[in-house]
Amino acid sequence: MSWFLPRVLAYVVMMLGGGLLGRIAGTPFHMSTSGMVVGAGMGVALAVLFDGLRGRRLLVWLRGSLQGPAPRDTGFWGELGYRVERAVRSREMVAVQEKARLAQFLSGIEASPNGVMLLNANDQIDWCNHLAAEHFGLDPVRDRSQHLTNLVRAPSFVAYLRARQFEQPVVFPSPGGRGTLSVLIRGYGDGLKLVLSQDITERERAETMRRDFVANVSHEMRTPLTVLSGFIETLVNLPLTEVERKRVLSLMGQQTARMQTLVSDLLTLAQLEGSPRPPSDRWVDVDKLMQHAEGDARTLSRERHQLVFESLAPAQLAGAEGELLSALTNLVTNAIRYTPDGGRVEVRWQPRADGSAEFIVKDSGIGIEKEHLPRLTERFYRVDGSRSRETGGTGLGLSIVKHVIQRHGGELDVQSEPGKGSEFRLIFPSLRVRVGQAAPVPVPQAVGAR
Ligand code: ADP
C-alpha cells in the first residue's frame, strides 16, 4: 500500500491547487466560490487525465508481445508494471522449462524401440514418434489430427480399434505390405489412447523357419523310420530265406546310416550356431585339408570320376580345423554325388592377388538351374530331392558350408550351368590366410563330414 497515500495526496494536492487557482481566477469577477469548485474539479480532472496516460502506456505494453521491459514509472503504475512484468517473466520461465521437459520426454519416446502414437477420444492422431509413422506409413506432421482409421485400413486393426477390447495385441500386415505389425492399445485419461506398435516381421520369419525346420526334420526322420518298421514287420511275420534276410538287414542298415548322417548334420549345424567364432590365431595347414578331402573323395568316387587336387601355393588358414575340413569335404562330396560317372572333379587352393585365398571345387556334373542358386544354402533345400536322397544327401550340406565360411569371415560363391557343371568357391579374407610352409600338423577330424 506504499503507493496509496502518495496517490491520495497527489489527488488532494491537485484538487486544492485547482481550487486555489480557480478562486484566485474567479475573485475579480466576484465568483470566488464557483471558481474554486470549477478549479478543484479541473485539478481532479487533470490528475485523472495524467493517470490515464500513465495507465495507457502500461496497457499498450500489455497488449503487445510483452517482449521488452514494462514502461518504467513511479508509484502505483510503476509498481503495477513491475509486478505484471515479473509475473509474465516467471510464467515465461515456467513455459520454457515445461517445453524443455516435454522435448526431453518426447525425445525419450522417440528413442523407444516401439512405435508410440497418442490418439484423442475420437481416434485422431495427437502425436506419434518416427517409428510409429514408419510402421503405419504416416507423416508425423502432415497426418496430425487425422482419423487413424482413415489412414490405416487393415480390417483387423480397424475392428480391434472399434471393439475397444485392448487386452491382447492385434497382428496384421503392415501398410505397404512390407512386413507384419503387432499393435497394442492402452486407454488412459478421458478416452485417450496410447498405441504401441512393433515390427515383428523378423520374429515371424524366425518362427516360420523354426516351424519349417521342425517339420522338415520330422519328415526326414519319418521316411527311414517307416521303412525300418516295415522291414521289422517283414522279419517278424515272414519266413525269409537266409539270402532274403541278409538283403533286408542290409537295406535296414542303409536307412539307419541315413538317419545317422541326418542327426550328425543337425548336430553340426547346432554346434556351428551355438559356438563362438573360430580362433584367428590357430593355423591350419591347407595341404593337410586337401589330402584329407582327397582321401574322402577317392573313397566315395571309387574311381568312377577323374579327380584333380591341386594346391597352387603352400599356405595356412586361421580357424577351426574340423569346420574347415567339413566345409571342403561337403563341397567335394557334393561334386562327386552330382557328377555322373566318367565326369571330372577339380579341387584347387588358390591364393589371390589381394592376399585373400580360395578353395575352388569344380565339377562337370549335372549343374543347377539359375533360379535355385539363391536358395541352395537354405536348410533342407534340394534341387532334386530324390537324387539327393539316393546319394545319401540330407539337404543340410551347403547350409553347413555357408555357416562355416561366414564364421571365418569369408564367402561362398556359386556358379553353375545345367548340364555343364558347377563351381563352388570358398573365399577366405586375407586376415585368415598365411602363405608359406607350415610345421607338420596331425590330420584333423572333420566336423559333420559325410
Ligand atoms: P544335399 O544333401 O541334398 O546334397 P546340400 O545342401 O549339400 O544338400 O545341397 C543342396 C542342393 O544343391 C542339393 O540337393 C543339390 O540339388 C544341389 N547341389 C549341391 N551341390 C551340387 C553340385 N555340385 N552340382 C549340382 N547340384 C548341386
Q: Residue 161 Cα, ligand 1 centroid: separation in angstroms? A: 49
Question: Same structural domain for residues 328 and 253?
Answer: no
Domain assignment of residue 444, yes or no: no
At residue 200, the pLDDT reads: 95
Cα–ligand 1 centroid distance for 409 (angstroms): 23
In the prediction, which pLDDT does 399 show?
96
User: Are the C-beta atoms of residues 333 and 297 closer than 8 Å to each other?
Assistant: yes
Whether 231 and 305 map to the same domain: the answer is no
In a domain, 441, yes or no: no
Is 303 a domain residue?
A: yes
Name every protein residue with a CB atom under 6 angstroms from any ligand 1 atom.
334-335, 338, 363, 365-368, 376, 381-384, 388, 393-399, 422
In a shared domain, residues 315 and 184 = no
Looking at the fold, whether 293 and 249 belong to one and the same domain comes out as: no
pLDDT(442) > 60: no
Which domain does 78 fall in, by range? 4-101
Is the same domain home to 294 and 413?
yes
- Shared-domain flag, residues 8 and 25: yes
How do residues 198-220 score in pLDDT, each as one tens digit?
999 999 999 998 999 999 999 98
Do 286 and 384 fall within a single domain?
yes
- pTM for this predicted structure: 0.68
What integer pLDDT is reported at residue 74 of this predicted model? 83
Tens digits of residue pLDDT in 102-116: 999 988 988 999 999
Choosing from 199, 228, 261, the residue where a domain stops is 199
- On whether residue 448 sits in a domain, the answer given is no
Q: Which atom of ligand 1 is nearest to the CA of 339?
A: 24
- pLDDT surpassing 50 at residue 5: yes
**Residue 121 pLDDT more than 50?**
yes
Q: Which ligand 1 atom minimizes the distance to the CA of 383?
A: 16
Domain boundary among 101, 120, 151: 101
Q: Give which of 353, 337, 346 is closest to 390, Cα–Cα.
A: 337
Is 289 in the same domain as 403?
Answer: yes
Closest Cα to atom 14, ligand 1: which residue? 382
**pLDDT digits 0-9 by tens, 409-437:** 999 999 999 999 999 999 999 999 998 76
With respect to residue 413, please indicate whether it lies within any of the assigned structural domains: yes
Q: What is the mean pLDDT of residues 82-103?
A: 94
Domain assignment present for residue 106? The answer is no
User: 168-206 pLDDT, tens per residue?
Assistant: 999 999 887 778 999 999 999 999 999 999 999 999 999
Residue 67 within a domain: yes
Number of domains into which the chain is organized: 4
Task: State yes or no: pLDDT of 449 exceeds 80.
Answer: no
- Mean pLDDT over residues 88-106, rounded? 94
Q: Residue 283 pLDDT more than 60?
A: yes
Confidence of residue 447 (pLDDT cuts 50, 70, 90): low
Look at residue 202 and give its three-state secondary structure.
Answer: helix
One domain, residues 191 and 327: no
For residue 132, tell me if it sits in a domain.
yes
214 Cα to the center of ligand 1, angstroms: 21
Q: Are residues 240 and 280 in the same domain?
A: no
Q: Kindly indicate the confidence band of residue 308, based on its pLDDT and cuts at 50, 70 and 90.
A: very high
**Cβ contact 279:398 at 8 Å:** no
Predicted confidence at residue 360, as pLDDT, reads 98
Residues 348 and 431 in one domain: yes
Domain identity same for 388 and 306: yes
Q: How, if at all, do strands 344-351 and 306-311 pair?
A: parallel
Exposed/middle/buried for residue 44 (C-beta within 10 Å: 0-12, 13-18, 19+):
middle
